[in-house]
Structure 1
Amino acid sequence: MITRRVSGRVRGALVERWRQLRAVEVVVAQSAVSAALAWFLAAELIGNPQPVFAPIAAMVTLGISAGQRLRRAVELVLGVTAGIAVGDGLIYVIGRGSWQIGVGAALAMTVTILAGGSAGIVSQAATSSVLVATLRPPTEGIYFTRLIDALIGGAVALSVMALLLPVNPVTVVSRVARPALNVLVEGLTVTARGLAERDQDPVQEALAALTRGEEKLDEFYEVLPQGREAATIAPLRWRSRAALQQYVKAAEYVERAVRNARVLTRRAVTLLRDDEPAPKELVASLCGLAEAAKVVQRDLRRGSMPKGAVELVCHAVEQASAAYRQGLGFSGSVVVAQIRAIATDLLGTTGLPHDEAEREVRRAGGTPGDSFEAGDETRGGADPQGRPRRPGGDGTS
């Protein structure tokens, strides 16, 4: 048992590492090609026998943490310029040694900070000053070839990123969005199974998975700038702007849906613990929402608006309202409210404005759904005194 559990964890870790590598594989290729090409151009065209700064500039410009490479390239050139100027001048005057390296780095950082430079500029200035003092310390004046190397490296990196090996922004974003939506799909599906079987354990597992899903959402937001950058500067990817924009608009709704699903699942645990009723319509509603989330995931990956999810969402709301009419406990009523909240979120990913999505949910839910607002756990399914609402709407229990 223990061996199987450890094996499962190792396998899961390897899968996660492979997924992370797949997410940056194009950036790795870009960095390798840029470093080699920058050295070649600086050495062969400019005639610098040791163009160390060219591949360094290319690597720093691209970096693994993408999304702000244009700004980073400008900061790189400014920082390297300041570092080279300070390093060359100071080391030429005071000589080479350990304390001189420290003084040069401190002075380069001081100059760039006083000039209003960002953290990137300050860091590059200090790094360049140290490299100047250690790799090829000045003996006959300032070497302007170092600045040219940095310019070549930055230009090569941006050219490779925009023209030679541009990333597909939709692929990059969908690869990260898929796990985030998977968390939602699995959470709803497992919760539905737990309610159907009257078993708290799978619902507890779903709650834990949805809580961990916050990390997937963080990754989703982190990769969006990289997708926007690729769609902006790479001519071959300009046609991806519309599809990428759909992801950008959907991101907020996906985040809300996951958080609402976590509230729903927590309340489902209480429902089972208190032995409240869970009609088959309530289970069917959760399964319907999961299917709708799958459609959203599929259509966003294809670059199309997920209109096919609308019918599934509305049917899920109808099922939830049918369960509500049969009479639910307090927790069951809150589950219905959260179903309506998630339904509104999923409709938002289809391009519907929020107000229109709420109207669709009310229309699909019928009269009982008008007694509470989607997404409000404290009001959903309860009267102002906290008593469960019933179909009559009078708040009596």
Structure 2
Amino acid sequence: MALPIVQSAVAAGLAWVIATDVFDHKQAFFAPIAVVLCIGVGLGRRLRRVAELVVGVSVGIGVGDLLVSAIGTGAWQIALVVALAMTVSVFLDGGALITLQAGSSAVLVATLLPPGGHGGVNRMLDAFIGGLVGLATVVLLPGDPPGITRSHGQRIFAELAAALSGAAEAHTRRDAELAERSLSRARSTQQTIDDFRAALAAATEIAAFSPLRRRRRRRLGRYSTAAVPLDHALRNARVLLRRTVAAIHAGEPVPEPILTALDELAGAAVLLGRELADGQEPVRSAGKLRETAVLLDLSQSAAPSGHSAHVVFAQTRSLTVDLLEATGLDHESALAVLPPPPAAEPGLGARPGSDGAESTDSGTTDPRNDH
């Protein structure tokens, strides 16, 4: 949070100097405003933000100048100008920033800037100056892209490990309440995924803009590779925990090799998180996941009985594939690491883990999770 504040402060002052001293604008208040809107306290999509800013200013000033020149200023004139400016921006398929900026620009034209003068053109130029200065500041005073992503990524791996180890412990202790607590915690992880993806997009943008951070692209590439599989893994973990609760209530035992595999998956998730955070190739975590595949092969000789226990086994397979993909394997190569799945028991269907629980927990069903 401190870096965007410093960037905004430095760039706002610089934009004011450029607009007033270089372009001789007497009311260059919008140049530093544009800087703050461009950089903000959030990261990501700055080029689009600058474009929307300038478009919104242009629409607001254009509509405002035309109307104010004809109808003058006053309460009802301001209301009409704002309504028309925002309507035009909506019909132009503008985003929220364009629409809001069009409205605020129209207000300023109707109240502060004399109609028919050069104030409107100058303000559009000030918006452009502020946007460019904001972008230049981000390039010259960049953050740490891997650092932005690292903290968010670590939370995902920690939550995934907690879900997996919680499921294993709940089965071992036959503790349905523990499983339910783990499920409740896992259900709150979607925001963690969304925050991670937003941070990854911002970090990728910084690395693309700033030549000082381009060497970090490989590390960011590993996080990008892991992002979608991690989302799938957390969704599958929620399904697994739902069926864990059901299996414990139904008295359906889960073979010990599967529980060991769940603990191994939790350890592999933590290890993968560390390797990505340290900028290492995920070699050790990939090896640990291959060992987990061997455990799943052994567990097939003692396949679980009962619907929920069988789904737990199937979701453990799915999670192993998800984490293998997170290490960089493509889907087919990850599937090839695991032994062929056992034939589905009568009534269980051909898609393990697709009993409706996943759509209940996550809102979607991953069509690839039929491994």
| Residue 188 (structure 1) aligned with residue 159 (structure 2) | no
Q: CA deviation at 1:348?
A: 0.4
CA RMSD of aligned residues (A): 2.5
Q: CA deviation at 1:379?
A: 4.1
Counterpart for residue 355 of structure 1: 332
Counterpart for residue 195 of structure 2: 219
If the length of structure 1 is used for normalisation, what is the TM-score?
0.80
Q: CA deviation at 1:323?
A: 3.6
Q: Deviations over 1:109-162 (max 9, x none)?
A: 34445556555333322221112323x231672323323322221111111111
| Residue 174 (structure 1) aligned with residue 174 (structure 2) | no
Do the aligned partners of 1:84 and 1:125 also contact (CA within 8 Å) in 2? Answer: yes
After superposition, the Cα gap between the structure-2 partners of 1:378 and 1:296, relative to the gap in structure 1 and judged at 3 Å, is farther
1:371 maps to amino acid: P
Flag the structure with more relative contact order, 1 or 2, with Cα contacts below 8 A and sequence separation at least 6. 2
After superposition, the Cα gap between the structure-2 partners of 1:119 and 1:278, relative to the gap in structure 1 and judged at 3 Å, is closer
1:39 maps to amino acid: W
1:138-287 matched pairs, under 5 angstroms: 138=114, 141-143=117-119, 144-163=121-140, 165-287=141-263
Q: Deviations over 1:32-70 (max 9, x none)?
A: 332233223323433434321111111222234432110
Do the aligned partners of 1:83 and 1:126 also contact (CA within 8 Å) in 2? Answer: yes
The count of residues paired between Structure 1 and Structure 2 equals 348
Counterpart for residue 132 of structure 1: 109
Q: What secondary structure does 2:280 align onto?
A: coil
Do the aligned partners of 1:88 and 1:142 also contact (CA within 8 Å) in 2? Answer: no
After superposition, the Cα gap between the structure-2 partners of 1:61 and 1:316, relative to the gap in structure 1 and judged at 3 Å, is same
If the length of structure 2 is used for normalisation, what is the TM-score?
0.85
- Structure 2 unaligned blocks of 5 or more: 354-371
Do the aligned partners of 1:336 and 1:380 also contact (CA within 8 Å) in 2? Answer: no
1:1-397 matched pairs, under 5 angstroms: 24-113=1-90, 117-134=94-111, 136-138=112-114, 141-143=117-119, 144-163=121-140, 165-330=141-306, 331-362=308-339, 369-372=340-343, 378-379=349-350
Q: CA deviation at 1:380?
A: 7.1
2:317 maps to amino acid: R
Do the aligned partners of 2:65 and 2:116 also contact (CA within 8 Å) in 1? Answer: no
Q: CA deviation at 1:79?
A: 2.1
2:342 maps to amino acid: S
Do the aligned partners of 2:232 and 2:322 also contact (CA within 8 Å) in 1? Answer: yes
Q: CA deviation at 1:372?
A: 4.6
Do the aligned partners of 2:293 and 2:337 also contact (CA within 8 Å) in 1? Answer: no
Q: Deviations over 1:162-193 (max 9, x none)?
A: 12x21222222222222222211101112222
Larger mean CA deviation between 317-326 and 180-189 belongs to 317-326
Distance 1:111 1:278 in 2: 62
The percent of aligned pairs where both chains have the same amino acid is 36
- Structure 1 unaligned blocks of 5 or more: 1-23, 363-368, 383-397
Do the aligned partners of 1:88 and 1:132 also contact (CA within 8 Å) in 2? Answer: yes
